[in-house]
Amino acid sequence: MSQEQKVVLQYSTAFKLKVVEQIERGELTIAQARRVYDIRGGQTIQRWLAKHGKSHLLSRVVRVQMKDEKDRIKQLEAEKKKLESALAQAHVKNLFLEELITLAKEEYDIDLKKNSATEPSSVSTKEKKRA
């Protein structure tokens, strides 16, 4: 009775780099590379790509900045937050005043909105006395 011995394949670094390069250039897909080179492991090529590939560098953003730049960015973000808050408060104040004008018109029949396109409807009493 002979037992079958398990065969372990070890690929050279040069071979791995060749396969990874062909995949990254678009010459082969992972499935095609597995068939062409008879690579049996399901995740073998993915591990090679993660370890030896260059495509993982394309999705990274590396930001190099000076300390004073970082402080300036924080300062600008804080200022932006203050301005957004002030804008929101001004918007609420504007809504309140618009509602106040509407209520004054309804309750007291007073038109507080100034219409600059029309002439004043009446002359003040001071102007009448002068004339």
pLDDT in tens, 10-54: 899 999 999 999 998 889 999 999 999 989 887 999 899 888 888
Distances (CA, A) of 112 to 9, 18, 42, 93, 94: 89, 80, 78, 16, 14
Query: What is the rounded CA–CA span in Å between residue 13 and residue 56?
Result: 18
- Tell me what pLDDT residue 50 has: 85
pTM of the model: 0.40
Instruction: Please state the domain extents for the chain.
Output: 13-54, 69-112
Query: What is the rounded CA–CA span in Å between residue 43 and residue 53?
Result: 14
Instruction: Name, in order, each residue with C-beta under 8 angstroms of 117's C-beta and a sequence gap of 6 or more.
Output: none
Q: Which of 128, 123, 99, 127 is nearest to 113 (CA)?
A: 99
